[in-house]
Structure 1
């Protein structure tokens, strides 16, 4: 059996998954674990934030600055 990776637009994902299931294909919904390098970067940023909490932004104040695709 072969595996392939597809990039599906968010708007079409549910349709695509339903189609694939109807065709009887196996779907793997496993998440990809972050690499040790990425974990190290996150740990470093968390430590920096703990040492300098004033550098953080408050989500309640900033969320209107983001646009989310609908």
Structure 2
């Protein structure tokens, strides 16, 4: 990896430059790993909920309303 370190006027390293092609490769690996660790049945539930939302978006509630409903049931 061809990194370039960025220093301030006192010589303290304050950043790193990573070429975009290398960043994209790293980012793709991370995204792939993240989805590989999710159980298939979790993915299925999310997929089903997205389909349901797309069919009936008017039935969705906002976050605050959902939290209020959860707190009432506790």
TM-score by length of 2: 0.36
Structure ranking higher in helix proportion: 2
Structure ranking higher in strand proportion: 2
